[in-house]
Structure 1
Amino acid sequence: MSTADLARLQFAATTGIHWLFVILTMGLVPLVAIMHTRAAFTRDPVTRAVRERMTRFWGQLYVINYAVGIVTGLVMEFQFGLSWSGLSKFAGNVFGAPLALETLIAFFAESTFLGMWIFGWGRLRKGVHVTLIWLVALTAYASGYWIMVANGFMQHPVGYEVRGGEAYLTDFGALLTNDSALVALGHIALAALTTGGVFVAGVSAWHFIRGTKETELFRGSLRLGLWVSMLASFFVVVVGEMQRPVIERTQPMKHAVLENSGVAEVQARLVGEYGPGDYVPWQDTIRISMDVMTVIGNTVSTITLIAVALLWKDWLIRRRVLLYILVATVPFPFVAAVGGWVVREVGRQPWLVHGELTVEDAVSPVGTAALAVSCAAFIAIFLALAVTNWTLITRFALRGPDATQLGATEPLPGDSPATRAEVAAY
């Protein structure tokens, strides 16, 4: 393999694995925030206790995924300097600011709010505590926005000018309102909500299959997960289709490949515009990825719609076959998310910054052996983190609320306006 191939393999593997953490984090946190809000403002003590146990259970799974995901994000940052110095040299003046803001939000603001939420159980007023988890959700999506701003520039560079072989930002507003970033962000947000909803519904279904005693807790979780995933999976298809005009306008070759029409004509036009070269990406890979994403999206939408209808009079809960289907559906959104990522990233090849910088020109001037070692090391670390994450999530998910440790700390005297009796009742 060439140096460029190794660099691409390294970035594809690590980014793809990291994306699986991100999509579950973004999908779970709004659901946890909704659960906590309902728990905090429920007056009936019995219902409030159930809803708080629900919040703590799902919140713990979210925290596990977030904590391990942060590690993958930190490690992935090193790749820009190690493997893609050409990208940093050419576009660092433009998307360095969005990446820096994403880092500040994800690793400082979001982590700070989450830490306060984790250790605030029994010590903070309920309004403050609930606000914290909503701030976590807000910063999670703000972080996603800044990442998409940077990625959107690579998909369709705007608001810049090239001087001395380097891009310089000339219009920050154009960068922030890039269609390639905004429409994709909407698609990703809905995909994340679909993933989170299906995950919550699938785990809840598994506990009903096992004959859980926490009937009210998992009935509420199942309903919330199904409603969120049903609505999000419908609109994710709609917003996904909204990207086609943007792709047709900004990336004609990707559009031609997806439509399986006019590839030769676009190739000839790009040769005339940019000079000799092969501007056709891996067609089969893109089409298969697109088909997988589309089929899974429609399948999940159909399953969740039927499941929501069967919530009436607990028909869904009483039919084990349907519950098993929900459990089996849990991996589907993750597979679809990877398919979407492949379409977006592979589809713009051979460009790293579309129309300006090719992959070959962006690779760092390092030896093949050194890059092979770093590639193997990065992939091994990320696979180990992924296995660790899903082992922990599976273990705590199957154990149920009794194994939940989040929020289990007893309040200290004077730490909270809530009484010890109230905390114990929770």
Structure 2
Amino acid sequence: MDVLDLARTQFAVTGSLHFLFVVLTLGLAPLVAIMQTLWTFRGNPVHERMARFWGQIYVINYALGIMTGLVMEFQFGLSWSGLSHYAGDVFGAPLAVETLGAFFLESTFLGLWIFGWHRLPPKLHLACIWIVTLTAYASAFWIMAANAFLQNPAGAVDRGGHLELADFGALLTNPMLTFALPHVIGAALLTGGCVLMGASAYQLFRGSAEREFFTKSLRLGVVVAAVGAVVAVAFGFAQFGPLGEFQPDKFGGKPLAGAGLGFMILIGELFQFVVLFFLLPTVRWLPRWRWAHPIMMMLTPLPFLAAILGWLAREAGRQPWLIYGKLTVADAMSPGLTSGMVTTSLVAFTAVLGLLAVADYLLIARTVRRGPAAVTLGVPPGPGGPAPERATALSL
């Protein structure tokens, strides 16, 4: 491969690995918030234990996902300086807002939620996790706004060889954003629901003593997965309208984008059929149907695969443009790069992100296998439990 193809491959690999963390973070955050809401207003201790158990998995994924996001930031400066020079005034704006206004708030309130167990008043502590959820979705909005600008540079004008933002409202109402964002949210809810469903099915299949705990988790997972599947599929097909108007040649003669789209649609339709016509109608009895548990476990990785395929279809279909109709990928690449330089960074980034992904999977799998009895997040201080600070450290 030449240096351009290597740089594109590098971004595709690192972007795909990073998105695995993002889609699970967006999927789990509202579920943990719902669990804690049920505990706060109904007082069922099972819901508290659910919030702590699935919250610990959320924290693990969030902490490791931050590191993968840092690699993405480095690549804009290392490989794609032409993008910054030509469109940094526009493309950088939503990214800056995401970092300063959403990500920092999310991290701050997540810290308050982690260390606030048994310290903050229950409703104030509950507000923290809901703010975490809302700011996570605000982050997704700004990231998707930046990506939608690459798909359709709405609100920008070319002045003196670089783009300037002329209409901020047009940037935020970009047709390539308004349908894509709900599609991503639906995919995230489907992913989070399937993780709850698959992990709970695993514990029920092996005869866990925590039957009530995982019965409630499985049923919540099925319901959320059903909502996510409907939203993801509906808004996925709705995107064909803007695509036909702004990128009519997106999938023509581009095998990677045709293949990615086709398999993503296949997985989405499969989920919609299985969840809506099999799992949801029988959700009352599913926890007792041991034969169905392996099926639900096998479904768990499919939303992650669909998310990667969808991302590849969206990005590969834009080629050879980085900013559609304005800036080609070749012109956006940093000058002076050699194949050796990009290959070295490709190997390094892939190794680091790959190790983080493996570590994330192993830590989550261990947490699921050990069950809620071994959870350290939110353990009350005093005899029989570690202090909150040590509990948080152990949870990571």
2:262 to 274, 283, 291: 291
Alpha-carbon distance in 2 for matches of 1:234, 1:212: 31
Paired position in structure 1 for 2:39: 39
Paired position in structure 2 for 1:402: 373
* TM-score, normalization by structure 2: 0.94
Contiguous gaps of at least 5 residues in structure 2:
384-396
Paired position in structure 2 for 1:381: 352
2:129 to 118, 133, 140: 133
SS at match of 1:252: coil
Q: Structure 2: which amino acid aligns with 1:309? A: P
* TM-score, normalization by structure 1: 0.87
> 2:334 aligned with 1:364, yes or no?
yes
Alignment of 1:2-41 (within 5 A): 2-41=2-41
Q: Structure 2: which amino acid aligns with 1:131? A: A
1:328 to 295, 298, 301: 298
Q: Could you tell me whether the CA contact under 8 Å between 2:222 and 2:283 is conserved in 1?
A: no
Paired position in structure 2 for 1:195: 191
Paired position in structure 1 for 2:316: 346
Alpha-carbon distance in 1 for matches of 2:298, 2:84: 42
SS at match of 2:157: strand
Paired position in structure 1 for 2:109: 113
> 2:282 aligned with 1:310, yes or no?
yes
Q: Could you tell me whether the CA contact under 8 Å between 1:230 and 1:304 is conserved in 2?
A: yes
- Root-mean-square deviation (CA, aligned residues, Å) is 1.3
Q: Structure 2: which amino acid aligns with 1:24? A: L
SS at match of 1:245: helix
Number of paired residues?
381
Q: Could you tell me whether the CA contact under 8 Å between 2:189 and 2:227 is conserved in 1?
A: no
Q: Could you tell me whether the CA contact under 8 Å between 1:95 and 1:150 is conserved in 2?
A: yes
SS at match of 1:162: strand
- Displacement of 1:302: 2.1
Q: Could you tell me whether the CA contact under 8 Å between 2:25 and 2:58 is conserved in 1?
A: yes
Deviations 1:188-238 (A, max 9, x none): 000000000011011011110011111111111111110011122022111
Paired position in structure 1 for 2:61: 65
Alpha-carbon distance in 2 for matches of 1:335, 1:68: 19
Deviates more, 1:184-193 or 1:94-103: 94-103
Alpha-carbon distance in 2 for matches of 1:75, 1:16: 12
Q: Structure 2: which amino acid aligns with 1:26? A: L
Alpha-carbon distance in 1 for matches of 2:32, 2:141: 21
Q: Structure 2: which amino acid aligns with 1:33? A: A
Alpha-carbon distance in 2 for matches of 1:359, 1:82: 14
Deviations 1:320-349 (A, max 9, x none): 221110010000100111111011000010
Give me the identity figure in percent.
51
Contiguous gaps of at least 5 residues in structure 1:
258-262, 264-279, 413-426
- Displacement of 1:21: 0.3
Alignment of 1:72-91 (within 5 A): 72-91=68-87
Which structure is larger by alpha-carbon Rg, 1 or 2? 1
SS at match of 1:285: helix
Paired position in structure 2 for 1:419: none
